[in-house]
Amino acid sequence: MTNKTDPVQRQLDAYNAKDLDAFIGCYHPDIAIYRMPAIAPTLIGRDALAAFYQTERFSIAALRAEVLQRMMVGNKVIDHERVYGLAEQPYEVIVVYEVQDGLILNAWFYSVG
């Protein structure tokens, strides 16, 4: 894979390590997070992202994610992920990351199932 996948892999590694600073550092200051099928972002900006992950995700001891499949099309990195710790059973999600200048500018989350 090319360097377009680098920030995506770094944020996954930081997510699994619950390293908030390293995680947030992978995202553009104007990051927009979408939980599809919503047409408006659910989170906008690094500050909102940091606050959400600090209180709603990184406080969960069992939290982790693994990539089941990754592909790249242009400046989009598409991950099929399995997430643990947010529910009794692991669940799967598709995430489309838009990478610009070495940072994740937008991310779209699609529930699988």
Tracing tokens 């999600």 back to the chain, one arrives at: 93
Where exactly are the structural domains of the chain?
3-111
pTM comes to: 0.94
Q: What is the pLDDT of residues 35-94, one digit of tens each?
A: 999 999 999 999 999 999 999 999 999 999 999 999 999 999 999 999 999 999 999 999
Distance between CA atoms of 106 and 33, rounded to whole angstroms?
6
Start-end of H helices in 1-113: 6-17, 20-24, 46-52
- CA count, 13 A, side-chain hemisphere, 27: 26
Answer left, alpha or beta for residue 86, where phi above 0 means left and psi between -120 and 50 means alpha: alpha
| Closest C-alpha to 38, from 113, 112, 111 | 111
**Record: fold of 3-111:** Nuclear Transport Factor 2; Chain: A, (3.10.450)
pLDDT exceeds 90 at position 1 = no
Sorted by sequence, the CB contacts under 8 Å of residue 48 that are 6+ apart come out as none
Distance between CA atoms of 56 and 86, rounded to whole angstroms?
10
